[in-house]
Amino acid sequence: MPTERPTRTRDRSEHEDPPEAKLSVRALLQSGLSRASESTDWVAISAATRVVLAGSDGPMREVITGRNVRATGVYPSRKAGRPLAFESMNERAVFIHSEVDTEIANYLSQPCRFEFVLDGVKRSYVPDCARILADGTLEIVEVKGDRRDLADPDYLRKLDHVAQASRTMGWSFRVMFGAPLRAKTVRNATVQLIQHHRLTRYGAEDVFLVHARLRAASDALPLGDLARMLGDEVVGRAKICAMMVGRELCIDLDAPLSPTSCVRLLSAKCAVAPGVEGVL
């Protein structure tokens, strides 16, 4: 099983991620199940539906290996604090964008299994991903290549049942398309370059210096200027990219990554990644 090896630049102290990044997907799943049991809406759904959590923060499904031709692998995530298994290049693309998107605080692959009866037939469904948004909302995610993968009416009814159950537990349900996230665009190329440095170490002093410089500025500052402030420009650039993954700042994703890229504090609005389908 291939494992990606992004660049890592060592520093004496590694900055601690913000508190919301420590929110556990599993803890929010358990909280949702507990809250749903007290809801009158859950009575109609729970009679034919149950949600099974993974025994740990590992994936619910075993990644397909052997002679199967599907792309599989492991994505080492700084944001999730663990390697995440993926079963397609579309899933990998969603992980990469979730890693860089500052609106995502944490995420986990294959976090649970829905078991239910639909039209008298036992069904099961394992989400490809669950993400904790910046506001603390838990989002259940189904990953597809594009709209053509949703052509089967029976499959859509299955997803609709899962979406209904998710809402009852206080979660949202979303379909994300991998094709737009894998397309050859400036934004996707910039995201790729930033996530490449996601495991670079940076210290609390680095964050303090960058934040102080950004607060003193009336507008965004060039990436190159901030990188040189941290010492070696190459190492500084890698640290700033890692800081975006750590949700310390925003880098303009709609322009090629370069020394002139605009960098802002996280409080400034950052554009949300494309390729997201509406909540079911």
Three-state DSSP at 44 gives: helix
Which residues make up the CATH 3.40.1350.10 domain(s) of the chain?
A: 19-181
Average pLDDT over residues 161-190: 95
Task: Return the pLDDT at 74.
Answer: 95
Average pLDDT over residues 11-26: 54
Rg (CA), the chain: 20
* 38-69 confidence digits (pLDDT tens): 555 554 555 568 888 876 655 655 444 444 54
pLDDT tops 90 at residue 182: yes
Task: Return the pLDDT at 70.
Answer: 58
At 24, the pLDDT band (50, 70, 90 cuts) reads confident
Domain 19-181 grouped into CATH 3.90.870.10: no
* 188-237 confidence digits (pLDDT tens): 999 999 999 999 999 999 999 999 999 999 889 999 999 999 999 999 99
| Cα–Cα dist 108/103, whole Å | 15
The two structure tokens encoding residue 158: 């299955």
Average pLDDT over all residues of the chain: 84
Q: 207: left (phi > 0), else alpha (psi -120 to 50), else beta?
A: alpha
Task: Return the pLDDT at 271.
Answer: 47
Per DSSP, the residues of 187-218 read: HHHHHHHHHHTTT----HHHHHHHHHHHHHSS
pLDDT tops 80 at residue 109: yes
